[in-house]
Amino acid sequence: MEDIINKIVESMSDEIVGFLQNLIQIPSENPPGNYEEISIFLQNELNLLGFETKVVNVPEEETHKAKLTTPRQNVIAIMKGEGGGKNLIFNSHIDTVPIGNADLWTFPPFSGTIADGKIYGRGATDSKGRLAAYIMAAVALKRSGISLKGDIIIAATCDEETGGVLGAGYVTKQNLVSGDMVVVEGYSNHIVRAMAGVLQLRIKSTGVPAHAAFKWKGKNAVEKMAKVILGLTDLQKQLENEPSEIEGMRYTTVNVGMINGGTKVNVVPGSCEIEVDFRVIPEHPLVEIYNRVTTMIEKLQLEDPEMDIQVERLPDFQTNPTVTEENSSLIKELQSAIKEVTGRTLPVVGMLGQSDTRWFIEQGIPGINFGPGTSDNNLHSYDEFMEIEDLIQTTKILAVLAKNYCVAKQFV
């Protein structure tokens, strides 16, 4: 049966590549997030491919509340089974990061150019390449003469690059998509079973401005903040000695990503602000990391009573770690499909990034991350690409996974 699937996917190679090229050629950079064209394309194409498809428009009041200037759309498509089986969700996002300076791309970023066995363009891997593989895996099964009991659901969601609140977050919380297992965008060289938590803080230092010639009349907010940054550096060193037990996750990281302070070089700065990103391993509750930061700052203020520091948690960027147990049936199902296609299994790891997996897990749908491409494919950089061989092989694996998971039986 796997030979049938392999042959059908191989026969679809040009179609799969062309489908990905079409997706790349529809810009969907976020920000700002223009999704109408790609949503209409997906709705039309998926209907033709045999899915029951709908575009989910996020209500205007939700976009206004989020201070967004463009509409948000998600596309949900179902390849219906006969009933009585387990339902499998494939989730990938339709937004991409911006292209940056187009002049620094070897090929135009929305061209989908093919060169040296690779497809180039923004989203080629992250995450239009994954979406193409998920869709075409379901199509290959439909064309194979194999009947599934369970449904295959495609959730093509928006805004993952900015948190996914109105994308996967919206469709899961509104119960617009449901299933027994979800496979979310990932890589083809390992299975990701755990994602780090995210904690982001805005830390403000307030001083007293004065002329630089009379510095003693002021309080330098930047210099006070420097002590906080050194304290965060020391915290990072401590956390490096508290590694995760999950392969690939290393330790909780501290990154001072933004700093802003002062008004002019000859003025004692009256304010300074930093934003700090923490990628938190499962062994550390978010509140523990937050408390360690505030305790460090309180100690600094006791040592220097002139320090005036406030800490604010950024509410849109607080996410608990997500973990799927290594012996999970999800991982066993995927490893079995990988072995059927390639003759080997893959490492099972965690990573310090985040994805839309968390939205499904919060709604009781277990999930893992897997899909075509690797972290070497210039994601978020110039000349992003997808290797065609990887795209086709991973589509085969996903089709076999769907066949096995949705309890298939062959037509007589």
> What whole-number percentage of the chain has pLDDT above 70?
98
pLDDT in tens, 175-200: 999 999 999 999 999 999 999 999 99
Burial class (CB in 10 A: 0-12, 13-18, 19+), 344: exposed
Q: What is the pLDDT of residue 314?
A: 92
For residues 98 and 29, give the distance between their C-alpha atoms in angstroms, rounded to a whole number: 5
Region 76-104 average pLDDT:
97
Residue for token pair 């985040």: 354
Cα-based angle 117, 119, 125 (whole degrees, multiple of 5): 120
Q: Which residues, other chains included, contact 292 with Cβ-Cβ below 8 Å and sequence gap of 6+? A: 235
Q: What is the pLDDT of residue 66?
A: 93
pLDDT band at 407 (very low <50, low <70, confident <90, very high): confident
Q: What is the pLDDT of residue 2?
A: 65
- The CATH homologous superfamily for domain 2-195+321-410 is Zn peptidases (3.40.630.10)
Cα distance from N-terminal residue to C-terminal residue, the chain = 13
Region 258-272 average pLDDT:
98
> What whole-number percentage of the chain has pLDDT above 90?
95
Grouping H, G, I as helix, E, B as strand and the rest as coil, residue 13 is helix
Backbone dihedral angles phi then psi of residue 114, each to the nearest 5 degrees: -105, 130
Region 350-356 average pLDDT:
93
Residue 170 has pLDDT above 90, yes or no: yes
> Could you tell me the two tokens for 285?
């509750």
Q: From the CB of residue 229, how many other CB atoms can be counted at a distance below 10 Å?
A: 15
For residues 220 and 2, give the distance between their C-alpha atoms in angstroms, rounded to a whole number: 69
Angstrom CA distances, 47 to 53, 54, 75, 167, 263, stand at 6, 9, 11, 21, 57
pLDDT in tens, 287-323: 999 999 999 999 999 999 999 999 999 987 788 999 9
> Could you tell me the two tokens for 141?
């099964």
Going from N- to C-terminal start, the domains of the chain cover: 2-195+321-410, 197-319
Residue 62 has pLDDT above 60, yes or no: yes
Region 263-282 average pLDDT:
98
Residue 411 has pLDDT above 50, yes or no: no
Q: Beta strand pairing status for 253-261 and 271-280? A: antiparallel
Q: Would you list the DSSP string of 316-354?
A: EEEE--EE--TT-HHHHHHHHHHHHHHSS---EEEES--
Q: What is the pLDDT of residue 370?
A: 98
**Contact 319/197 with Cβ under 8 angstroms?**
yes
pLDDT band at 400 (very low <50, low <70, confident <90, very high): very high
Least confidently predicted of 148-157, 206-215, 308-317, 401-410: 401-410
Region 219-245 average pLDDT:
98
For residues 340 and 334, give the distance between their C-alpha atoms in angstroms, rounded to a whole number: 10
For residues 135 and 16, give the distance between their C-alpha atoms in angstroms, rounded to a whole number: 9
For residues 74 and 39, give the distance between their C-alpha atoms in angstroms, rounded to a whole number: 7
Grouping H, G, I as helix, E, B as strand and the rest as coil, residue 192 is strand
Residue 408 has pLDDT above 70, yes or no: no
What is the domain class of 197-319 according to CATH?
alpha beta
Q: What is the pLDDT of residue 1?
A: 64
Residue 7 has pLDDT above 70, yes or no: yes
Region 144-167 average pLDDT:
95
Residue 364 has pLDDT above 50, yes or no: yes
Average pLDDT value over all residues in the chain: 96
Number of helices (H) and strands (E) in the chain: give both, helices first.
Answer: 11, 20
> Could you tell me the two tokens for 193?
């079973």
Region 333-357 average pLDDT:
96
Region 88-100 average pLDDT:
98
